[in-house]
Every structure is written in structure tokens, then in C-alpha cells.
């Protein structure tokens, strides 16, 4: 029998929180509910979870701050933010700290479950089908462990950073079309997802900066290209 997925739910609206917990449990997800960011963080460090659902606006500690702290403990865990209507800043701030998705209140619980299932499916699918290791110049990237190594300095990537870098590596010295990346990683091409991808591209550029022969360039109107040394380049340097 397959083990139940364990969900971390942090929502300060008591009625909504209890409704969500009951619904998720009825759908087969083991769910722990926390009423604010402080209680949430204390609970997160004690238990191993598979996915987080976090309200952005909460007392004592807001959702974005909480997820920043969670990311320091577990950079891989998928996160869905619950956000109020028309809160563009919240959504973009959420993506900056590594959110995988967001859903706007009021929302259908059925839609939330579909998004949870899509994220879990995507994370599992990526791990099974992608190339395990990429090596370009002084850069080495382990897609399974989500570790980027440049000049022996290791950095643990978040799930989204890892998924995007994997796609760029798979298309090295070739164009990675923006639409393809959005659909592959975010599942749909929307304004917020496109802005989210821009944030992650900026993060990856900073991480790759120590390796001068590797860079991510914009291809206007099309997407991105990861420029890496070719075998000819490396032979010329010898």
C-alpha cells in the first residue's frame, strides 16, 4: 500500500483551515494544520512533510517569511501559497522565495487538490526521466541531489531552480523556448508564471557567475540559451 502524502497546512482563518484539513484528509492526504507562521515553523521542524500549503497574510509571522525559513531547512519541498485576490506583490514575493504555485481566494478545494497532484506528479516524473549529471567547464550539476558544484563549491538548489537548470542544460548552446519551459515546469503560460521564471533565471545567473565560460543569455522574443564551453573550446585552451 502506498504511503500517504503528508501535507503541512498553515492558515490563520480557523474555519477555512479546518475545512481544508478535513477535505484534504478525506482525499487521502495526511494533513497537519497550524494557525500562524510561528506555530507553523515550530511544527515544521518536528515532522517530515511532502508539501506545504501556506497563507501569505498571517499574524505573528507572514507566509513569505515562514517559507524563507522552511527553505533553509528543506530547499526541495514544494510550496503552494494561498493569496487574497489581486495581490500581485504577494504572488511575486512568493515566487522569489521559491513557491511552486499559488491559488487565489476564494478557490475551489477540488482545484487545490488537482494542483497538489500535478506538483507531486511533476516532482516524481522529473526525478525518473532526467539526466542525472551535467558537466560543463568547471560546473557540475547533479539533477537528482539538486546540487550545483562550481570550483568545488557546492550549492543546494530549490526544486524550481533545479528543474529550470536541468532544462537549460538539456538544451545547452541551443534555444530553450520560453513557452516550453513554462509549460514543462509551471504547467501553464501566464503572466505570474512568466514573472516567476524571470526571477529564477536571475537567481541561476548569480549562481553561475563564478564560472566565466557559462552564462544564460536572453534570445529576444524566443527564450533563453545556456552558453557552455564546447569540446572544441576546451581543446583550444589546452
Q: Which alpha helices (H) appear in the chain, and where do they start and end?
A: 14-26, 37-46, 63-73, 88-96, 109-129, 159-170, 178-181, 191-208, 231-237
The verdict on pTM exceeding 0.75 is no
Dist. CA 222–CA 2, nearest whole Å: 42
Q: Which of 48-52, 172-176, 201-205, 233-237 has the lowest mean pLDDT?
A: 233-237
Please compute the mean of the pLDDT values over residues 62-69 and round it to a whole number. 90
Q: Which of 54-58, 87-91, 189-193, 196-200 has the lowest mean pLDDT?
A: 87-91
Dist. CA 104–CA 86, nearest whole Å: 8
**Averaged pLDDT score across all residues of the chain:** 86
- 190 — pLDDT class (breaks 50, 70, 90): confident
- 159 — pLDDT class (breaks 50, 70, 90): confident
Which strand (E) or helix (H) includes residue 202? helix 191-208
Dist. CA 31–CA 52, nearest whole Å: 10
What cell was used for 14? 480557523
Domains of the chain and CATH, by start: 6-127 (3.40.50.2300), 130-237 (1.10.10.10)
* φ, ψ (nearest 5 deg) of residue 44: -65, -40
Amino acid at each position: 500500500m502506498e504511503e500517504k502524502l503528508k501535507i503541512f497546512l498553515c492558515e490563520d482563518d480557523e474555519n477555512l483551515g479546518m475545512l481544508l484539513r478535513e477535505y484534504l484528509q478525506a482525499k487521502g492526504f495526511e494533513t497537519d494544520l497550524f494557525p500562524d507562521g510561528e506555530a507553523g515553523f515550530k511544527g515544521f521542524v518536528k515532522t517530515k512533510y511532502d508539501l506545504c500549503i501556506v497563507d501569505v497574510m498571517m499574524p505573528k509571522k507572514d507566509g513569505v517569511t515562514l517559507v524563507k525559513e522552511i527553505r533553509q531547512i528543506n530547499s526541495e519541498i514544494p510550496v503552494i501559497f494561498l493569496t487574497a485576490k489581486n495581490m500581485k506583490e504577494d504572488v511575486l514575493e512568493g515566487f522569489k522565495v521559491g513557491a511552486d504555485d499559488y491559488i487565489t481566494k476564494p478557490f475551489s478545494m477540488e482545484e487545490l487538490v488537482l494542483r497538489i497532484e500535478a506538483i507531486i506528479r511533476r516532482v516524481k516524473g522529473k526525478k525518473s526521466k532526467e539526466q542525472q549529471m551535467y558537466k560543463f567547464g568547471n560546473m557540475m550539476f547533479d539533477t537528482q541531489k539538486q546540487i550545483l558544484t562550481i570550483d568545488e563549491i557546492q550549492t543546494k538548489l530549490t526544486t524550481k531552480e533545479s528543474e529550470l537548470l536541468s532544462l537549460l542544460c538539456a538544451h545547452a548552446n541551443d534555444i530553450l523556448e520560453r513557452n516550453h519551459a513554462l509549460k514543462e515546469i509551471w504547467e501553464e503560460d501566464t503572466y505570474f508564471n512568466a514573472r516567476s521564471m524571470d526571477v529564477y533565471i536571475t537567481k541561476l545567473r548569480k549562481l553561475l557567475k563564478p564560472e566565466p565560460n557559462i552564462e544564460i543569455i536572453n534570445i529576444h522574443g524566443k527564450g533563453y540559451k545556456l552558453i557552455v564551453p564546447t569540446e572544441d573550446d576546451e581543446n583550444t585552451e589546452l
